[in-house]
Amino acid sequence: MVLIFKETENGIVIRACKRCCSALGIFFHIKSMFETSSPFVYQLSQYGSLGVPMFFVISGYVITLSAESNLKNNKSPFAFLKARFLRIYPAFWASVIVVLLTPYVIESISALKSGEYIIPENIFTKFNHIEWSNFLLLTKVFWATSHDLQAEFNSVNSVYWTLAIEFQFYLVVSLALYFRKYYRHIIFIISIAAILTMFIPNKINFGLFIHYWPSFSVGILLAYLYRNGVQSVSLLKNKAVLIVTSLFATVLLISSVNFLGPRAILFAVCFGLFLWTISDIEKTLNKIKNSENLLFFWLLEPWLVLGTMSYSVYLLHGKIYHLPEMFVRQLIDPENILYGVLIVIGTLLLCYPFYFFVERRFLSKNYKIIQQKVLTKVSSGRS
């Protein structure tokens, strides 16, 4: 059985998609470093914002299967919400501290060379205590006056706005779980209402989840296709037909980039179709990972590690990349493509301690077990 359609958020393909979201975000925020050294990479980086609809589709898939598991095991909806709260908020709060301290660390390092310490702008004074409360609770989006929700978080870290929408998804799903046997009906009604809001003029609050639910619902559909046995592997049994369909889905995904609407729903649909058609690749990746070929194993393993720490990377990359940049610019000419590559690598290395000491502490026991299954230790045969 392919792990992308397993009731877990940690299959190899899902991890690869998480890694793609993180990579898109990193390159999008440092794209200027490739503008002259690699115009091709720079052009690709322009599409970094596509990581958001990808993230919501994956989230819809994962949360749906998690909610169905909650129903199957007759667990409390509160337990579901608590697990999601611990997944989002502690690491988010810790990242805020890191982000706020980063300018001071940068100036301290600069002072070692220049001999002069310049006090950074005091971000703490950007908000009053009520605004900080809304910021830390991720409710600041409800004061947005346009669909540009990241503007509400720009002064600290623009990526936080997606967490605000994400947790609204969790809250809605947990409330629907209280109705148990009517859960699917409620989710279906919300999905239809969300699609209608895309075409019917409305004055619904800009920061409300309903505007982004269509992408989320693509992941929901993907999850239920699996649960009902509607898989590309079972429907397209002919290998040639499966390959052609997968290629068609890939071309459609790439083409959709040029026809994005304000909520990127077309891209989300194409991305969902793409995931559905390539699900069988999981078997191949598992064979590679479990093979005795050290080269193939280690080519795959780093990407899985990045998928594991994708949340930490997402939270921090937009601000802490300035730290490795300080050292790289002393060694490499900005016109050299290695300049941007080394900054990306340095950023990822800085994110790992945050994952290890902070994010990992709040993972559920089940989540840790799944991680161990995906990130297996090197066997004695490989050591």
Domain that holds residue 292: 3-85+166-188+213-374
Helix boundaries (H) for 73-155 = 77-114, 129-136
At 46, the pLDDT band (50, 70, 90 cuts) reads confident
Per-residue pLDDT band for 258 (boundaries 50, 70, 90) equals low
pLDDT band at residue 81 under the 50/70/90 scheme: very high
The CA-based angle 368-92-159, given to 5 degrees, is 115
Q: What is the pLDDT of residues 274-302, one digit of tens each?
A: 888 877 666 666 666 666 666 666 666 66
Helical packing angle, 51-72 and 12-29, nearest 10°: 150
Distance CA(285)–CA(122), nearest Å, equals 48
Q: What is the pLDDT of residue 7?
A: 39
Q: Which candidate, 56, 75, 57, places its Cα nearest to that of 66? A: 75
**Rounded-to-integer distance, Cα 280 and Cα 366, Å:** 25
pLDDT at 287: 66
Question: How many distinct helices (H) and strands (E) make up the chain?
Answer: 17, 0
**In Å, how far from its chain's centre is CA 332?**
30
Amino acid at 124: F
Distance CA 98, CA 318 (A): 12
Residue 201 lies in a domain: no
- Please tell me the pTM assigned to this model: 0.86
- Over range 187-200, report the average pLDDT: 93
Residue 334 falls within a domain, yes or no?
yes
- Which ranges of 115-198 does DSSP label H, i.e. alpha helix? 129-136, 161-177, 183-197
Q: Is residue 99 part of a domain?
A: no
Q: Could you tell me what percent of the chain has a pLDDT over 90? A: 42
Asked whether residue 290 is domain-assigned, the answer is yes
Q: What pLDDT, on the 0 to 100 scale, is given for residue 13?
A: 52
Whole-angstrom distance, CA of residue 192 vs CA of residue 174: 19
pLDDT of residue 372: 62
* Tokens matching residue 294: 């050290």
CA gap 65, 221 in Å, rounded: 11
Q: Mean pLDDT over residues 24-51, rounded?
A: 76
pLDDT of the residue at 109: 92
Residue 205 is assigned to a structural domain of this protein: no
The average pLDDT across 243-260 equals 70
Do the domain assignments include residue 112? no
The answer to whether 192 touches 200, Cβ cutoff 8 Å, is no
CA torsion sign for 308, 16, 166, 184 is negative
Q: Which two tokens stand for residue 157?
A: 């870290």
Binned at pLDDT 50, 70 and 90, residue 143 comes out as very high
pLDDT averaged over every residue in the chain: 82
Q: Which residues contact 304 (CB under 8 A, 6 or more apart)?
A: 12, 15, 289, 374, 375
Q: Is 229 left (phi over 0), alpha (psi -120 to 50) or beta?
A: left
The pLDDT assigned to 138 comes to 96
Of residues 226 and 191, more confidently modeled: 191
pLDDT > 90? residue 320:
yes
Collapsing DSSP to helix, strand or coil, 145 comes out as: coil
How large is the average pLDDT for residues 12-28?
A: 58
Q: Does the residue 108 lie in any domain?
A: no
The span from the CA of 41 to the CA of 31, in Å, is 8
371 pLDDT band, cuts 50/70/90, is low
The more confidently predicted of residues 347 and 30 is: 347
Q: Count the domains in the chain.
A: 1
* pLDDT at 355 (0 to 100): 92
| Position 95 in a domain | no
3-state helix, strand, coil in the chain (%, to 5): 75, 0, 25
* Overall average pLDDT of the 70-90 stretch: 94
Comparing CA positions, the residue from 269, 316, 297 lying closest to residue 156 is 316
